Amino acid sequence: MKIERVRGGVSLRRTIESGTEEQRRAVLDIIAAVRARGDAALKEYTERFDGVRLDSLKVTEEEMKRAHASMSAEMLEIIREAAANIRDYHERQKRQSWLMTKEDGTILGQKVTPLDAVGLYVPGGTAAYPSSVLMNVIPAQVAGVKRIVITSPPNKDGTLPAGVLAAAYELGVTELYKVGGAQAIAALAYGTETIRPVDKIFGPGNIYVALAKREVFGHVAIDMIAGPSEIVVLADETAHADEIAADLLSQAEHDVRASAILVTPSMKLALAVASEVERQLETLPRRDIAQAALESYGAIYVTETLEEAVDVVNELAPEHLEVMTAEPMELLGRLRHAGAMFFGRFSSEPVGDYFAGPNHVLPTNGTARFSSGLSVDEFVKKSSVIVYSEAALKQHGEKIAAFARLEGLEAHARAVEARLKKERGER
């Protein structure tokens, strides 16, 4: 990994998610085809891109039961325990509807309503992600969403990964479809003969999935445009080089575009971590992916002081931030921008990916400066409740009418005054 002395001026910003004009045109063509020809287009694209001809897009109950039965009892228990941790954490995020009554009799409030239907995209390709099922389905269930739909690209044999099906079966999800890519996003947004449309689409995917989500936004809602995974480790001389290296590789193995960065005031640690990364790469099964990611998006930044290192981390605003210093929690107040923060050497990032409970769907590409990770809030909408009293309108009506006229909206003013005149017995 390259080692560089810095004082600032660093960034995780990348433009990968915007794609090329050719990719955008391809996505627009796919969306148009799915809207026009429905299931037929989905099957054609599945055969072209995934190499499998499907008679039916829907996963059957028998397929789910078979996948669930294929999992070991030990693995199922791990999935159940992880699910319980995730559910417990997200239950604490639930918001309640509320009403307040003012002295003049006016009632104001907020009604929290779960979305009717959501679509969850579970990526395929180089790895299967049952953890994505848990992290997306559980907050939707906690929020009270009634219809939860999962789409995922099929394997060459026409199945979905057993882990994905087993996780969905454990959670009671019954509506799953073997379709991936931009065509899956189009189907979720606009519907086909088999797949009814949803109100909001969640989940990461490749560049075509990201572009499709961008194109359908407005017709439906989306969670975010997910970029490649990122980890930043903030460490001082007390940290263990082999553990840092392992954590950097845990993200680098995701994707050739993943980013893994160490920020430290210790040149000794920097050199040790660089050496450890090379050593551990030798035996990593996904070595080619991790090595390519590190060469393009990996770095070790060395600062003069720990305070400067904290400033650099805030500038990076990473998806995942690990803090491995002598007193990590002392830095909590100064750390401002990260999707998830992991403090101490036993809080390795995969703990959050799978088991601890907080959601692993997090903002990337520096957007942690203004975005949050997936939560129950993303699966509900909030409606204002206004019950204005007669006394309040009499007291404030002329002010409201004056404000409307300030904006040149005479009908607004008259709508209020019509009630005031009636109460005064005027015609």
**Under 8 Å between Cβ of 391 and 423:** no
What φ, ψ does residue 238 adopt, rounded to 5°? -85, -10
- Order the strands of the 98-101 sheet from edge to edge: 98-101, 107-114, 380-387
Q: How far apart are CA 169 and CA 245, in angstroms?
A: 36
Provide the annotated binding site for NAD(+): 121, 183, 206
Provide the annotated binding site for substrate: 229, 251, 254, 320, 353, 407, 412
Cross-strand pairs, 386:
108
Provide the annotated binding site: 121, 183, 206, 229, 251, 254, 320, 353, 407, 412
DSSP 8-state code for residue 342 = E
Provide the annotated binding site for Zn(2+): 251, 254, 353, 412
Query: Residue 361: what residue type?
Result: V
- The catalytic site residues sit at 319-320
H or E stretch including 292? Answer: helix 287-297
What φ, ψ does residue 367 adopt, rounded to 5°? -75, -5
Structure tokens given for 146: 């009634």
**Under 8 Å between Cβ of 216 and 185:** yes
For the purposes of burial, counting CB atoms within 10 Å of the CB of 108, is it exposed (0-12), middle (13-18) or buried (19 or more)?
Answer: middle
**Under 8 Å between Cβ of 16 and 208:** no
**String of DSSP letters for 189-210:** HH--SSS---SEEE----HHHH
Among 311, 305, 309, 235, smallest CA distance to 273 is for 235
